[in-house]
Structure 1
Amino acid sequence: MAGVRGNSAAQFPISYNFDLSTIPALEFDELDSGNATDLASLAGKTVIVGDFVQSGGANIPGQIAMPWSYVDIYAAETLMAGRTKLVYPLVSLAIVLVALLGATLLPRRRRTLAYFGIVVAIPVALNIAAQLGVRVYGADALAMLAIFALFRLRARWAAKFQLVDAETGLPTLAALENDGEVAETVPAIVVARIHRFEEVRRSLPRDLHAEYLLRITGRLKAATRDARIYLGQGHMMVWTLAEKDPALLREHLEGLRALFSSPLIVGDQQVDVGITFGVDISPSPNVARRVASAVAVAETTNETYEPIAIADTASEEDLIWNISLQARIDAALASNEIYLAFQPKVLIQSGEIVGVEALVRWNDPERGQIPPDNFIRQCETAGRMSQLTRYVLEKGCLAGNAFDEAGLSIPVAVNISATLIHERQIVDMVAEVLDQTGFEPRHLTLEITETYRISNLDLAAGVLHELAALGCKISMDDFGVGAASLEALLRLPFDELKIDRAFISQMLVNTKAEAIVKSILAMGKTMRIVVIAEGVEDTGTLTKLRESGCIVAQGFGISRPVDFETILRNHNLGHSEALRNMV
């Protein structure tokens, strides 16, 4: 019928996008009557003879129970029009999947518009394809779209369920974190920490738990009427305030604390409520991070000493830096960004260098000098203190060898965290470094920092005795700070102690500080151990120490931490000249 010759077994999709009225149909009985007009209308045309269908037959788009010959007619029209192109199911399914994946990457508001666009585009695309004579199999894509829609509706329902606490009807932290207005206006986020929360709940009947929470929120709203109170985990309640001035915030929250000085009435019981606050006033639009920051600082508060705490206003970039600091430390050690500076210890009378303290420093290519307290504490938290200590030990011993070769045979002191002397691993580490570097053990001083953190003095004594047996000197750093200093001095084998700068810096203005320093110097003389004054910032303090009988000192007033070459250069200048040039 189409006049197309080819493989009789070839298959192609039939297009039913032809107007049925353009296909004339005549009853055979009419032609049989010999009507000349009807016969004339058939001149030059192809006539298809089909069965008359009373029931059954072919169902085609828009028509039912049609003679099967119509299927052949539409097929012939399809061939003659060249509408035999076919888009396979996997192609349409892939297009829809890609569109859905792309939509999920958009922000929430744009994502909704994208979903709407996909739904509208499907019938439009099918209609355009039909006009172009392209048959599209879209059933699989539509099924996938329906399944995706069901999952999204379920997720939206679950998210909405999470936004409201079922027991009290209060909005949850999830509602706050998803609040676009808070992200745009960036108000202060306040977290109220309810003390003894679980104890009170255990003492109340279960049917009063919700009332207990609602009574608390009611009192909170008495001072912040327009605030929307969000319920956090257990003992936390959160709201926002437009005010971000720290002083005004503290004043407001102190007044709020005063409201809780009188007990709540829950049922027929009086309940005392202890409450403290954590606040985040950072400028970040990241609500979830700010809530977490306020919760974290609220956890550090207590009713007696610090009832109100404001989170550090570090930028999000700074926080990301701190989080990734552990990995950065490893890279910095490998690239020598972490290095040693040396602070001289000198005889006060003559200025002669009698030792150096190896101090770790970090010069980051992007941020410059990183404060030692920052990354050292991070090392302890991340369990990397052993790696950093070994690095400092190795570099310090190698520098000691270099000093000796240059004619300056002096002890090198290395700081050892008190957290490391609870295990014998530090003994093996020091022994290995001494063996590898060949450094003279008697020239290595191990300064134990923060001795108040030693939790087991008996265990620490055993480890320090083993370190002393290697030939090293053991020094107590920051003496006088921490409740355990005197007990540690009594029970641990120290050859040296360093008076903390907190006392040295006050000698000229505080007679108590001067008396404490003199007492420590006298105690050291009686115990026959070396006493070093650290933190000497000026010549007046240095003179006072000399008059008090102190022999060795270090500090910025004598020399800042400097590099290896500077130590040698000042040593070669002579003692008096060195004191004038090392400051």
Structure 2
Amino acid sequence: MPRFVLDERVKHALIALAIALAAGFLTLMRPVDVFGWLVQAKLFDREASGEFVYVRMPFATGDAAKNNREVLSTIEALHASGAERIFVNVPLQTSESQETDARLRAFLAANADDIYLTSSSEQDYKDSDRIPPTDPYFTQASKVYSSDYDADFLRFVWGFSRSEEPTKENLVPLSFALANIGPDRDDVFIDYTIGASTIPTISSASRETDLSRLGPAGKSFILGTDSFGANIRAPGADTVSPTAIHILAAESLMRGTGYSLPWYVITMTLGIALALGVRFLRTTRRRRFAYLAWCSLGLALFFATAFFGMRAFFADGLLLAVSYAIMRCVAGYRRRHLTIDPLTRLPNFTALKSDLSDGKAGGSSCLVIAKVARLDALFVGLGSAERRTYLREICNRLSLGDQARTVYYDGGKYFAFLCDSGDIPDLQGHLEGLRAVASQPVRLTGRCLDVSVTIGADGLADHPIEQRLSSATAAADQAREAYKPVFIVGHDKDDWDHSLTAKLTQALAEDQIGIKLQPQVDLGSGAFVGAEVLARWRDSDGVDVPPSSFILQCERMGHLDSLTRRIFQKSFAAVDAIGREGLIPEVAINVSAVQLVDDRIVQIAQEALHDHRIDPALVKIELTETARIEDFRVARGVVDRLKEFGFKLSLDDFGVGSANYEAWFELPFDEVKIDRRFVAAIHHSPRARAIAAGIIHSAREEGIVVLGEGIEDRATYDLLASMGCTQGQGYYISRPLCLAEYIAILRREREMTLSRRDNG
């Protein structure tokens, strides 16, 4: 069953959704929602039903008696004309004219089933503009409804709500009374697609003429005044009376519109749709179609809610879209500038690690590294355009047979790609064929440039990303163009010891790898001159693991620097311990040539020197595998920095590998070590003896030390000494010793020397 993986786009969609939901919860985007509602109000033009007629009363004056007489005459005329219901949305106050007040009160009481009053029950409510309440003198026998309203910061009123159990202090809003809606609706969002200007309106001053024009039968009349709430606004209108707002709310209730969706519905709908779209539509073309469909969905919902007169919150969804777009833009910028090689425009190894961590590699994926040798020499005299063409051509060749394959370039000499080894019966043959194609010369501006490619691959998909990359890179480095140009880790049983990997990881974590010291002597005097540090590891099963196995394993796992750091620390501690005994403490530490590609080895040596404060002249760094040095300019810079600290440099295993003479020529060695295979054969092989003699002669001509390693008997010892070899080491001289044993033999030598001196 495939593993569900949240790739980058899905993560961004979910983060954007979380941001939008948080903003919605805090109502940060409400001003934008208000603007959206204003736009929705203009999308459709609907007329009022005509069932509710607004009767505009004169502005209230300080003469309460005059106001009451005007109200009384108006409701008497409306009632006489056959009005179905009359609502007095004007605050009634007792006046000095008791007769007028008594007549008005009596008429209201006599027609309590047809004429209704309103009152402001929230005197401290900030948006009711201090509407004075109707005097209880008039309300004792009448039904009373609330004239209050709630305006936003722009003075728009968007709806009304009523409580489940109305009381004298918590009246039913006038809009609900007008619509005569039962308890199934507790709130209404005003559908402003109904134009306020289409509400039938008459004036109390010309009511007879207006009534004859409208016809009062079956209509509800609402008496209102512009004296209060003069700044109330409605979409599409400048200012309106609060009475008109109540009428529009009643129209919405009558139409069955005016519902309000919870604030999170649109946001969740858009967020989930976006996450699902980018999760299951993986190609660029399909994703673009998904983005277009997603935007269309948002617009469709915007128009649909406007058409049905529903209040919905789109600002949080807009924030979701903006947040997602910003994150994708940032990711695109990072991908262009941080994960794209500027020369070739190919994704680099940072992008490779990101893609591997996002699970884009399948369970049977094989990570392939193609190493192009001698690039620096080839690129001398080439411009950027020609270099780009050369590298892009190699990339195109590596993509043969799978045009959807992504090829990564590290900016140096390595290309990488993933292939599904499960679909390739003969992976070795497939990669060898691909390498043969990629190794064809590239034509540039009338000339041919050679291509030298070796390939390393790691087929262990269950291993960590860094380990796989280090493993495949090490395999590409180990591959040899003429001998074994394709090297696959995990392809052959002996390439990778799975049990050893876990044990080695534990050993490094618990610092179980120690050192032994193999003494080196002056072949002329036989005196000890130092020792080579050898890494030693006995695993948890009590088995001694050969260094040739676990050091290579460390390199493939990407832990070579970690191992080297431990060896340096232990070696410097040994030098310190030997020096405290007043003995000769010089040691030689092996360092792989692959570690000369940058300053990491310098930092490791500097850290150890800082921790132990020894004389760096007592430490020789033995450079191994010099055939793997490809950029001597960089390697020389690293070596020079090491020598600036005072370290000496030794060329190990000289005579093995085609690059050793070049390494001797390019790097400032203080010592050359004749490889043990020549030392072992100098008795019976004139050729081996000639090679050893040539090395000794060359070293003596340059004035550097030459050391023969692998001396197994006295005859070899004497022959090397007679040939002029300076120093030697091997089992004949001593096996590798622990620190205490090495200090003991140095003490014995010192005592013997002192004894000979004392005896004359």
- Under a length normalisation based on structure 2, what TM-score does the superposition of the two structures give? 0.35
Tell which structure's C-alpha radius of gyration is larger.
Answer: 2
- Under a length normalisation based on structure 1, what TM-score does the superposition of the two structures give? 0.45
By relative contact order (CA 8 Å, sep 6+), the higher-ranking structure is 2
